[in-house]
Chains A and B, each alone.
Chain A
Amino acid sequence: MMRQTITAPVCAIECPRRDAPRYADLALREPAFLSVEAVAKHYRLPGFTGSKVVKSVDNITLRVRPGEVMGLVGESGCGKSTFARIVTRQTDVTEGEVLIDGEDWLAPTGETLRRRRRDVQLIFQDPYAALDPRMTIGTSMGAPMAHHGIGAGAADRRARVIEMLHDVGLDLSFFGRLPKQCSGGQLQRVVIGRALLLEPKLLICDEPTSALDASMRTQILNLLMDLKARRGLTMVMISHDLRVVRYLCDRIAVMYLGKLVEIADRDVLFESPTHPYTKALIAASLLDQNGLEATDAMLDGEPPSPLNPPAGCNFHTRCPHARPDCAEFEPGLKQARPGQFVRCRHWEEIAAGPFAAQPTSEVAYPTPR
């Protein structure tokens, strides 16, 4: 099976990613901006034989540095959308804490909460659904500002909206348009602009490009990249598409059935993915470079139901390298290399073993100086 290697030129000197923060491990030298500590979200489902608990998010600890773009990847049912809902306070947590810039983010309620919401904004997957179809773009973008007391009056807010339209690459004519008169890519820019007008400190992007065509996808990613460079926004980029995350993110966390199975710096993750699930995900996402026969991409069976997670390591039922003790003991998240944490008891043996081929993920991305 011939591997297609598609080479791309190495980034030239003026690359906006150059000064992305680098760091060594979870004991960060700088304080974390977004701190998700041992957060769990359990849903209780009534059942005939007693109620069942679905652990949608199970003991997640994740720390995002200021100005960093953290990627969160996983397939359906892994809990990444629940994570987004927790951080944007659309749902409460069963356990754990969330701190933003040192402050308890889960504490505010009522009017206080409403006012603080401007600090954490969300970009949705479907831009058509995220906007009221009966409101013009101008109104949709301008109204939130009025509710937070941003801008010195209607005229000032209108001016801000127009400036933001320009910043996201749309022309003035969009002010009076209705959502149905715009393309998906254009609308997603509107959604991003609307969020940015509130001057948030943290931007959560929940699959922002999944519903878009290839050419619109790249426009939005370029826009997000620009925002990162110009505004130093801290972002959490949630996606099932490893390509997107590879382009935009500094660090990547991989989720499976509610748990984090690997966290690593972007380059480390793609050069030496350690957790078997990560390898499978990379190989399956980059089929053009790995082909259909890649052995490390072969996962058996279906993702287990969240109602019945496997005992021990929750991945062992599908893991090509599963050992007998994997079903008994749940591994913790341990450091594998500088900048890389893995939830696997046998990662060293697997890495050194005969079937330790790494999936290919070739594109020479700029290495920050």
Chain B
Amino acid sequence: MDTRMTAPRASLQDARSSRLADAYAFVASRHWTFKVGSALLVLVLAMVFFAPWLAPYDPGALNLISRLRPPSAEHWLGTDHLGRDVLSRLLVGGQFTVTISAITVVISLVLGTLIGVIAGRAGGLLDEVAMRVVDLLISVPDVVVAIFLIGIFGPSYFTLIFSLTLVGWTPYARLARALTKEVNSREYIRAAEVLGMKRSFVIFRHIIPNTIRPIAAVSFLRFGHKLITVGGLSYLGLGVQPPNPDWGLMLAEAQPYLERAPLLMIAPGAVIFLAALSVTWIGHGMEIERRGARVAGQ
């Protein structure tokens, strides 16, 4: 039954600008958490990216005279137990956490999605085997794997990323496979088969674009999770090593001084929290239904 109102679009250009307009409408109509989350994330990313220029002091500059100072005009967030400017350490420290988390998420996403899509398309034995592997690995917490491997090979960025992606790809694979199965059953995939389209085209031009949105939403949520994980590993001393600044590491270093200078712990904790919250809200906001029911006018 056809109830669509046709507003003629005269050219390919208009179809593109209509997609831009759709994208804007998408953002504008989302839940407020999405908007706030996006704004926060942009702030965090800007902070991290521009850190070298924004930081007022060298994060490694020791100044044993002015140790554990409270916030003042010279040091907006005070200084830590070695006299280093907290604000500068916070800004620069973000770089490691955020970058490592981002790399981990991207690798897991690409790997997991490819495996999931191929398994979903192929079906049969390949699908069964892949999914049983996923079932097995998905129950292993990535933190445990990281602790294990870093314990053997020593802390390095490579080991960190490797251990986190080792099991980190599994949720993407599961989701991608489920989505692929669903898209696969759609009529235009049947049509593509009957038309004799090449398989690679079907996967890359039909299936993946139609599964991207849910996967993107999940990846934001996972990113938040990864931030906390990396922060936690650094806190345990398995991530970024001193004297390099890192949020998690700052948490660990601040612990003995909790009573005397609580800000040392609150600052990095708050930033981790806000960063993780912002991406979680974005992911969450991508999934909330658009406000206002769409009524099929009959």
Chain A residues proximal to chain B, CB less than 8 Å: 88-90, 114-118, 120-122, 124, 126, 129-132, 134-136, 138, 143-144, 147-148, 173, 175-178, 180-186, 191, 194-195, 198, 211-213, 216
Contacts and interface: CB of A to CB of B under 8 A. Distances in A.
Contact of B15 (A129, A130, A136): A136
A147 B198 contact: yes
B4 A183 contact: yes
Given A132-B210, A147-B201, A181-B9, A176 B196 contact: no
20 contacts: A90-B194, A122-B191, A122-B194, A124-B190, A124-B191, A129-B187, A130-B187, A131-B191, A136-B12, A138-B12, A144-B196, A144-B197, A147-B195, A147-B197, A147-B201, A176-B12, A177-B9, A177-B15, A180-B4, A183-B2
A121 B8 CA distance: 29
Contacts of B32: none
B179 to A, nearest CB: 14
Contact of B187 (A121, A126, A182, A184): A126
Contacts of B13: 176
A176 B14 contact: yes
Nearest to A117: B196
Nearest to B212: A134
A182 B188 contact: no
Given A147-B197, A181-B9, A211 B4 contact: no
B73 interface: no
Contacts of B201: 143, 147
B6 A183 contact: yes
B188 A181 contact: no
Given A138-B12, A176-B9, A185 B2 contact: yes
Contacts of A89: 194
B6 A181 contact: yes
A255 B49 CA distance: 69
Given A134-B209, A176-B11, A115 B196 contact: yes
B2 A129 contact: no
B9 A173 contact: yes
Given A177-B15, A178-B15, A216-B2, A198 B195 contact: yes
Interface-centre pick from A129, A181, A212 (highest chain B CB count, 10 A): A181
Contacts of B255: none
A195 B210 CA distance: 23
B7 interface: yes
B1 A211 contact: yes
B99 interface: no
A191 B190 CA distance: 13
Contact of A144 (B7, B12, B195, B209): B195
Nearest to B7: A181
Nearest to A134: B209
Given A122-B194, A144-B196, A134 B10 contact: no
